[in-house]
């Protein structure tokens, strides 16, 4: 929680100065084409800024700046301990500008201000710091060679990284890329979502202030897919790292094949199952976690627990507990520190979510609670947290990622059926299991085709463990030391002795 009140946040919002230009080679600049696009706040529908709309000409400039500094070695050849120092300062600056960044994030994408402060900005600073602190503690290898040979196995920065990120955790998803990419010595061109570009634009200056050489971090906002496509097809980008939808992820693989076979690392969508067995150790805790798993961040979470799989024998006891827990999640003004459900990111996303709710109803599922747009008079885009019972896994609402606060409740008879339903999806990002039987917990966790599995909790984890997906939820991993794999090439050097 923050000490500021709703009125104080509103006052700050009125006087907030917003930088809305691209950041290339250490300077803010207009897009080459001089075009701008409207950045609309989902909080109340007002225009926050007119943001530079970059295209391939800006991609060329940003990539050239990134390449130049990479080759010059101002950053790439700095000692890891030196890079660490700059990045720790960058992380500190994020925290020193915590309120400004949180306000930008909330106004831009509608999430509650308390979450922006305590989760997004705090988590972003932590992600940068974690990678920075790790980088002078990782060692390369010496191969087990014959006596007259020395085989060095070393990791080298890949070069120019294009990072394309989504709107649901704008700064945090960027930071999960920036931390390991910069720590390993790469240069970056960051492409924020057109729905939430403001924090990425702002932090470029903070990175420079922290001591990052000009050109190492460039930020190119843009409307639609133009700038992302230009980066995806660019012949001088060595790696694309992406977080966003599975549809765009696949497109980036095509771009790589059509251009220079750049490495493509993808963190994509999810439709995560949250499995509650009758022997869950604490049904109340499970119900509260199920509610938070779908309502937190308005359900705009890749790991949202959007499919609640409940053992049939406890459904009638458990579902009312979830409904009750969800009453604690109410849409409200995101600038109010007490609000825990904010606005959906824009009118388009709201229409998508409402159309899935219609599909649930027309498809035969039973609407238990929620289902409507609320607070329309605010001019913002708010939808009530919603639960559907009687869902079968074949229904559209159980198969497609809604990316809103809409929960599908599905029953199962035994562990085998639970696993079959859980895995019956194109996605494999996350899953949870609630049981007091340790063997059942382990066996179910092993059988689940997902990159993260939680037992007797939902959404646990920190920077120490890798995060990413099986199947069409992506490849590669963010967070932890494993994230460095995406930003480095392995080199074998053979020396004849």
Asked whether position 166 contacts ligand NAD by CB under 6 A, the answer is yes
Asked whether position 411 contacts ligand NAD by CB under 6 A, the answer is no
Nearest Cα neighbor of 240 from 257, 258, 263 is: 263
141 is catalytic: no
Q: Are 122 and 95 in contact (CB under 8 A)?
A: yes
What minimum distance in Å lies between the beta carbon of 243 and ligand NAD? 5
Asked whether position 251 contacts ligand NAD by CB under 6 A, the answer is yes
Instruction: Candidates 164, 190, 387, 407: give the one binding ligand NAD (CB under 6 A).
Output: 164
Q: Are 453 and 431 in contact (CB under 8 A)?
A: yes
**Cα gap 218→237, rounded to integer Å:** 13
Give the 3-state secondary structure of residue 369: strand
**Cα gap 7→95, rounded to integer Å:** 22
Which is nearer to ligand NAD, 167 or 470 (by Cβ)? 167
Q: Are 386 and 405 in contact (CB under 8 A)?
A: yes
Q: Taking CB positions, which residue lies at the least distance from ligand NAD?
A: 228
Asked whether position 191 contacts ligand NAD by CB under 6 A, the answer is yes
Per-residue x/- marks for ligand NAD, 293-322, CB under 6 A? ---------x--------------------
Nearest Cα neighbor of 201 from 335, 463, 17, 46 is: 17
- Specify the stretch interacting with ligand NAD by CB under 6 A; choose among 62-70, 72-80, 240-248, 380-388: 240-248
Per-residue x/- marks for ligand NAD, 263-282, CB under 6 A? ----xxxx------------
User: Of the residues 14, 19, 141, 267, which is catalytic?
Assistant: 267
Two tokens at 240?
Answer: 């694309």
What minimum distance in Å lies between the beta carbon of 319 and ligand NAD? 26
**Cα gap 8→79, rounded to integer Å:** 44
Location of structure tokens 């229904």: 395
**Cα gap 331→374, rounded to integer Å:** 8
Q: Please return the burial class of 367, using the count of CB atoms within 10 Å of its CB with bins 0-12, 13-18 and 19+.
A: middle
Q: Are 268 and 249 in contact (CB under 8 A)?
A: yes
What minimum distance in Å lies between the beta carbon of 454 and ligand NAD? 15
Which is nearer to ligand NAD, 107 or 415 (by Cβ)? 107
Instruction: Candidates 168, 199, 381, 408: give the one binding ligand NAD (CB under 6 A).
Output: 168
Asked whether position 353 contacts ligand NAD by CB under 6 A, the answer is no
Two tokens at 145?
Answer: 């060679």
The residues binding ligand NAD (CB under 6 A) are 164-168, 173, 191, 193-194, 225, 228-229, 232, 243-245, 248, 251-252, 267-270, 302, 401, 403, 429, 469, 473-474
Q: Could you list the active site residues?
A: 267
């Amino acid at each position: 929680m923050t000490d500021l009140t709703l009125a104080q946040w509103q006052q700050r919002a009125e006087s907030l100065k917003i930088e809305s230009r691209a950041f290339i080679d250490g300077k803010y600049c207009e897009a080459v084409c001089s075009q701008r696009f409207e950045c609309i706040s989902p909080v109340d529908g007002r225009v926050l800024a007119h943001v530079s709309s970059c295209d391939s000409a800006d991609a060329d400039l940003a990539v050239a700046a990134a390449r130049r500094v990479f080759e010059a070695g101002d950053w790439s050849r700095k000692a890891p301990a030196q890079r660490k120092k700059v990045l720790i300062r960058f992380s500190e600056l994020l925290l020193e500008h915590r309120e400004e960044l949180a306000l930008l994030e909330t106004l831009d994408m509608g999430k509650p201000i308390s979450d922006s402060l305590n989760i997004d900005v705090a988590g972003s600073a932590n992600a940068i710091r974690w990678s920075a602190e790790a980088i002078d503690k990782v060692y390369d290898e010496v191969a087990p060679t014959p006596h007259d040979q020395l085989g060095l196995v070393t990791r080298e920065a890949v070069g120019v990284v294009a990072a394309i990120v989504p709107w649901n955790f704008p700064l945090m998803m960027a930071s999960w890329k920036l931390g390991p990419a910069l720590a390993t010595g790469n240069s970056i061109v960051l492409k924020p979502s057109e729905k939430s570009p403001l924090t990425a634009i702002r932090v470029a200056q903070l990175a420079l202030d922290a001591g990052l050489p000009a050109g190492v971090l460039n930020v190119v906002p843009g409307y639609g897919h133009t700038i992302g496509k230009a980066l995806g097809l660019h012949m001088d980008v060595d790696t694309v790292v992406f977080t966003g939808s599975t549809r765009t992820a696949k497109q980036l693989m095509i771009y790589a094949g059509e251009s220079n076979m750049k490495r493509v690392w993808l963190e994509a969508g999810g439709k995560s199952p949250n499995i509650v067995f009758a022997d869950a150790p604490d049904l109340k805790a499970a119900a509260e976690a199920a509610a938070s798993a779908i309502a937190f961040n308005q359900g705009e979470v890749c790991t949202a627990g959007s499919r609640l799989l409940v053992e049939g024998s406890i459904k009638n006891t458990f579902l009312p507990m979830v409904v009750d827990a969800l009453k604690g999640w109410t849409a409200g003004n995101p600038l109010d520190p007490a609000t825990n459900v904010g606005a959906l990111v824009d009118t388009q996303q709201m229409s998508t979510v409402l159309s899935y709710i219609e599909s649930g109803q027309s498809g035969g599922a039973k609407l238990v609670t929620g289902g409507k747009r609320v607070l329309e008079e605010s001019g913002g885009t708010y939808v009530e947290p919603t639960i559907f019972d009687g869902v079968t896994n074949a229904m559209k609402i159980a198969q497609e990622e809604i990316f809103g606060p809409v929960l599908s409740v599905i029953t199962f008879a035994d562990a085998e059926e639970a696993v079959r339903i859980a895995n019956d999806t194109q996605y494999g990002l996350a899953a949870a299991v609630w049981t007091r039987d340790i063997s059942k917990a382990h066996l179910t966790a092993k059988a689940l085709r997902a990159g993260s599995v939680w037992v007797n909790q939902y959404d646990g984890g920190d920077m120490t463990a890798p995060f990413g997906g099986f199947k069409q939820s992506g490849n590669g991993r963010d967070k932890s030391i494993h994230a460095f794999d995406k930003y480095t090439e392995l080199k074998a050097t053979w020396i004849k002795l």
